[in-house]
Amino acid sequence: MSNLYVASKYKSDIINLLYKSDNFIKLIAPTPSECPNLDIIDVLNGGKWIIDGKEWKEQGYVFDYDFVNDTITETKTFVFVETDIDTIRDNIFTDFNLYVFIFTSKDLVRLNETTSPTAKEVKDMGFFASTTHGNRIDALCDCVDRILNGSSRIKGIGDIKPAPRNHMTIYIPNNNYYGKCLKYSITNYNPGGDVCGD
């Protein structure tokens, strides 16, 4: 299996791991679809469906590519996951970088008693917040880091470790959005065989 195949599969595996966290989904705060046949994962992924002859569209919240452009006008929270390959050593070890970009409309950064989730709910989840205010991006970064940091829960992925440099950086895709990028390092053993067990 090629390293490029593995890099693409990592993105899908990481996104699916994030979806297993109720806290991650609550912090994204997706608006449920008006279509009863679409679940919250469909809404997070986005796409187009034809159901009973009617077309349904969801923009999505979580992507495996940089979809951002200056025309984003929706007030919501987004995440995209990307990988690159830093080094291949002796054709055996591949060093991947994993990036998780987390950003939201500036109107949604501050959490309080009336937001979804509320600041108290975020505090009760175990993330930093008072009972009256919090920061959605900081809480989401903490949530993602707790899920990924040191994780070996995904078959075929080596330990995920914080990058030694620039583990967390500011990410501002345009003037209306604010966020951060988390960077992780993954070393994968690839003897030229099936590294993912597929």
The tens digit of pLDDT for each residue in 152-196 reads 666 666 678 999 999 999 999 888 899 999 999 988 766 554 444
| Runs of H (alpha helix) within 64-135 | 106-109, 119-125
Give the tens place of pLDDT for each residue, 57-101.
998 999 999 877 655 667 899 999 999 988 888 777 788 899 999
Which contiguous run of DSSP H or E holds residue 79?
A: strand 77-89
140 CB-near residues (< 8 Å, 6+ apart)? 24, 27, 28, 77, 79, 102
pTM, rounded to two decimals:
0.89
Instruction: Give the whole-number percent of the chain exceeding pLDDT 90.
Output: 67
Domain-wise residue ranges, the chain: 3-189
Tell me: pLDDT of 142 over 60.
yes
- Amino acid, res. 148: L
Q: What is the CA radius of gyration of the chain?
A: 18
Residue 11: pLDDT over 60: yes
Q: Which residues pair with 55 in a beta bridge?
A: 50
Cα separations in angstroms, 162 against 67, 87, 196? 24, 16, 22
Q: Angle 96-24-3 (CA atoms, 0-180°, nearest 5)? A: 15
Q: Which two tokens stand for residue 198?
A: 């597929």
Q: Kindly tell me if the per-residue pLDDT of 108 is higher than 80.
A: yes
Helix (H) or strand (E) holding 14: helix 3-19
